[in-house]
Amino acid sequence: MPRLIIQRGKEHRVRAGHLWVYRNEVDRISSTARDGQPVDILDSRRRFLARGLLNRQSGITARIYTYQKEDMDETLLASRLERAVDLRESCGIDLNLVRLVSSEGDMLPGLVVDRYGNVMVVQFLTPGMDARRDALVSLMVERFDPAAVFERSNVPSRQAEGLSSAQGLLYGSLPDPVEVEEDGVRFRVDVGNGQKTGLFLDQRENRMLTRNLARGKKCLDMCCYTGGFGIHALKGGALEATGVDISGEAISMARVNAEINGLSEHYRTVEANAFDYFRQAERRGESYDLVCLDPPSFARAKRSLPSASSGYKELNLRALKLLSDGGILVTCCCSYSASPGLFLKIVTEAAADAGRVLVLINEGTQSLDHPVLPAHPETRYLKCLILRAWRR
């Protein structure tokens, strides 16, 4: 087996269970090693640490997938998939609407599989997984008998891995429309053109928590995408909901989703930039009892954290100002680089500036089908705070 030797003194993180070997930690790599294929990862004294999939083109030169001397072959892929299924089943997760495989979280680095009923959407994010696409598709077909397997590997991160964008049908035929039911709410999913793989399954539990707090409330769902939080709030008895998003396509889908749930009468949509909408709403004197705020990641890298932090702070400040006394703020942050502590601090500062007393009702993260490995903190990226806000 080709080998990757880590520089002396740089092996602590891998020993502690982190799954990545960065380029600047590599001492040498066997000349026979091939990108996308396994390498043994050794410390400077040539002791075996783990086995990973190599990619010299990436800043993450190897991604660990096992601590045994085993190949990433069909047998291992199948057993990792069963482990992923078992983890979800043991948590009582609905296997019909689920992130079945969550990359490092399931020790299948570079692979994402979402199941929307009889449609499976896959992302191959590294050469290691890209090279195994046929085996993976066969495995999915054999195990789940889907109507379609659709690839959504059109993500910017593939570039950093030396891969081009890829998208399209890999198996079967796509039902039209694709529709799922999430906790009693119907959602259409645009598998081909929607954001990410079509639906944000990571917010499922947070949407449910929000819905349980929504009765009798006037709700604003900021960055609503296809209507997730707002439509669940209506289902939970909210009097009315307004969904705001910068994407016209997302807004159209949100309207369809409200319609198929028989909730359009109480659902309003606005295509707008969050910052603009907040400013105008404040001017108009609008007030809401429940504001959900789920912006995209403002900080993809540590260096953009300062500007991202001020963006998060401004949005939260403006959201808090629109809240009625005792209203509820559901505020999310999906940037891994903003830690849970930092995000809570940003929101606390925004509340002080807005003149509000905050009570933390729930400090949530991503749904359980996006497993967190404590030794690999990048697997925990989502923060969702539910707070009540009183005027000072």
Which one among 53, 137, 250, 328 touches ligand SAH, defined by CB under 6 A? Answer: 250
What angle do the packed helices 305-321 and 274-284 form, to 10 degrees? 30
Binding residue (CB under 6 A) for ligand SAH from 263, 274, 351, 368: 274
Which C-beta is closer to ligand SAH: that of 40 or that of 369?
369
| Spatial CA neighbour of 313 closest among 345, 289, 278 | 345
Interface with ligand SAH, residue 295, by CB under 6 A? yes
> Backbone dihedral region of 201: left (phi > 0), alpha (psi from -120 to 50 degrees) or beta?
alpha
338 lies in the binding site for ligand SAH (CB under 6 A): no
Binding of ligand SAH by 247 (CB under 6 A):
yes
Any idea which residues carry the catalytic annotation? 334
Chain-centroid distance of CA 61 in Å reads: 23
Do you find a cis peptide bond into 109, omega within 30 degrees of 0?
Answer: no
CB of 351: closest distance to ligand SAH in angstroms?
21
Residue 384 binding ligand SAH, by CB under 6 A:
no
The yes or no reply on residue 148 touching ligand SAH (CB under 6 A) is no
Q: Does 146 bind ligand SAH (CB under 6 A)?
A: no
Smallest separation (angstroms) from ligand SAH to the CB of 295: 6
Binding to ligand SAH by residue 364, rule CB under 6 A? no
Burial of 46 (0-12, 13-18, 19+ CB in 10 A): exposed
- Contact between 229 and ligand SAH by CB under 6 A: the answer reads yes
Under the binding rule (CB under 6 A), the answer on residue 361 touching ligand SAH is no
Q: Is 203 in the site for ligand SAH (CB under 6 A)?
A: yes
Q: Is 205 in the site for ligand SAH (CB under 6 A)?
A: no
Q: Closest distance between ligand SAH and the C-beta of residue 329, in Å? A: 14
Binding ligand SAH (rule: CB under 6 A), the pick from 65, 200, 278, 336 is: 200
Residues that bind ligand SAH (CB under 6 A): 195, 200, 203, 207, 223-226, 228-229, 245-247, 250, 273-274, 294-296
